[in-house]
Amino acid sequence: MDKDQAPGRFLLTGSTNLMALPTVADSLAGRLEVITLLPFAQSELAGTKGDMLERLFDGNGLPGVDSPAVGNALMDRVLKGGYPEALRRTQASRRQAWLQDYVALILARDVRDVANIDQLDRMPRLLEVLAAHAGQLVNHSSFGAALGLTAPTAQKYAGILERLFLTRLVPPWSHNAVSRLTKTPKLHFLDTGLLAALRDTNAAQLQKDRTGYGPLLENFVVSEVLKLTTWSDRRLRISHFRTKEQDEVDLVIEDRRGRVIGIEVKASATVRPQDLRGLRQLQEAVGDKFIQGLVLHDHDRITPFDEKLHAGPVSLLWQ
C-alpha cells in the first residue's frame, strides 16, 4: 500500500477478522476500508433492494407486501441460511453435512490464527452450548459450567467465536428515561442454517413441534437486519431492549440522530396487543424520535395497531 496507493484492490480474509489477528502489528488506519461480508441476505438471493430500514428512516413508510414467505416457505429460508456453498446443495442433509464440516475446519485451524488457547478440544462443545442458548441473554458462568471452564475462560473462548463471524453479541439498549433495563447482551448466530445444523434441527421436526422455531426465527431476523446495516449509508447502532419485568424488544435500530426503529419477532401467525408492550415502552422512552415499531411474524399482511406500531410479514425485510 505504501508503494502503490491505487484504489480498487481487495484482500479477502475469509472467516477471520483481520484486525483481530495478534500478528497484525499495524492498524492500517487511513489506508484501508473494512467491508464486512456476512452470509447472503435474503434480499440478495431474491434480487431486491433490501431497503426497508432506509425507507423507514427517510419517512417513506413500510414497503408493500409482495409474495410474502409464510409457513413452510419461511421456515425453508430460515433453515437454509445464507452461506453460498451450502445453498448450492439442494438436499437438506447435504447442506447440514457441509455446515458441520465448515465448523469443524474453522475450529480446527482458524481458531489458532486468532488466539492461543489451552483447551482447543472444548471449542466444538462450547459452540453447541451457545447454539442451545441462541437468542438468550449471555451467561458465561452457565456456559463455562457446562464444560468445566471458569466464566472468564468461557467468555474468552466465546469471544473467539465472535471474531470468526460465527456468533454476534447484541448489546443492551440504554436510555436515561428508563432505569430498570437489563444490562446484559444477547447471543445470536450470524447464520441460521449453521445454527439449525448445530441444534440438529430440520423442517420435519419443527413442523411437528414448533417450540424450537422461535429462537431460529429471531436469529434469522437479527442476522438479516445486520446484513441490511452493512450496506446502509447510515451509521446504525443495533441493540436490544429488555426491562427487569421481562418486557422486551428484540432489536433496537438507532441512527446517529437518536431516531429509533424497534423490531420484535414472533413465530406465531397471530399478534396480540400484549405482544407490543415492549415496543410501547420503547416508544414512550424516546418520544418523537420513535420512527416505527414492528412485530415481524409468520403472516402474509400488515396489521396496524397504532400510527407507528404495526405487525407484518418477516419478508418485509427483503421486499
| Residue ranges making up the domain that contains 281 | 42-318
8-55 pLDDT tens trace: 888 887 776 666 666 666 767 777 788 888 999 999 999 999 999 999
Q: Is residue 172 part of a domain?
A: yes
109 pLDDT above the threshold of 90:
no
The confidence score (pLDDT) of residue 222 equals 98
Distance in angstroms (rounded) separating the CA atoms of residues 275 and 199: 27
pLDDT of 22 reads 62
Cβ atoms of residues 162 and 154 within 8 Å: no
Is pLDDT of 77 > 80?
yes
Residue 175 has pLDDT above 90, yes or no: no
| Residue 33 falls inside a structural domain | no
Rounded distance, CA 296 to CA 293, Å?
A: 10
pLDDT at 193 over 90: yes
Q: Is there a domain that residue 36 lies in?
A: no
Q: What percent of the chain has pLDDT over 90?
A: 74
Residue 307 placed within a domain: yes
**DSSP 8-class letter at 29:** T
**For residue 123, is it within any domain?**
yes
Q: Is residue 23 part of a domain?
A: no
Looking at residue 7, its pLDDT comes to 79
Give pLDDT, residue 55.
Answer: 93
**How do residues 14-27 score in pLDDT, each as one tens digit?**
776 666 666 666 76
Considering only residues 10 and 127, tell me which one the structure prediction assigns the higher pLDDT: 127
Please list, in sequence order, all residues whose beta carbon lies within 8 angstroms of the beta carbon of residue 251, skipping any fewer than 6 positions away.
170, 221, 222, 225, 238, 239, 240, 262, 263, 264, 265
pLDDT at residue 69 is higher than 90: yes
Q: Which three cell numbers stand for residue 16?
A: 477471520
How many domains would you assign to the chain? 1
Cell of 132: 442451545
> What average pLDDT does the structure give for the chain?
91
Q: Find the mean pLDDT for residues 132-161.
A: 94
Query: For 20-29, 78-87, 145-154, which range has the lowest pLDDT when averaged over its residues?
Result: 20-29
Q: Which three cell numbers stand for residue 176?
A: 436515561
Reported as a pLDDT band with limits 50, 70 and 90, residue 67 is: confident
Q: Would residue 177 count as lying in a domain?
A: yes
- Residue whose entry in the numeric block shows the C-alpha cell 405487525: 311
Task: Kindly report the number of other CB atoms within 10 A of residue 267's CB atom.
Answer: 20
Strand order in the sheet with 290-297: 237-242, 248-254, 260-266, 290-297, 309-313, 303-306
The whole-number pLDDT of residue 98 equals 96
Q: Is residue 170's pLDDT more than 80? A: yes
**Residue 237 near residue 254 (C-beta atoms within 8 A):** yes
Q: CA 104: distance to chain centroid? A: 22
Q: Quick one: pLDDT at residue 178?
A: 75
φ/ψ of residue 188, rounded to 5: -135, 155
- Kindly tell me if the per-residue pLDDT of 168 is higher than 80: yes
The three state secondary structure string of 291-318 is: EEEEEEECCCCCEEEECCEEEEEHHHHH
Q: Is there a domain that residue 6 lies in?
A: no
The pLDDT, as a whole number, for residue 8 is: 81
- The rounded distance, in Å, linking the Cα atoms of 147 and 143 is 7
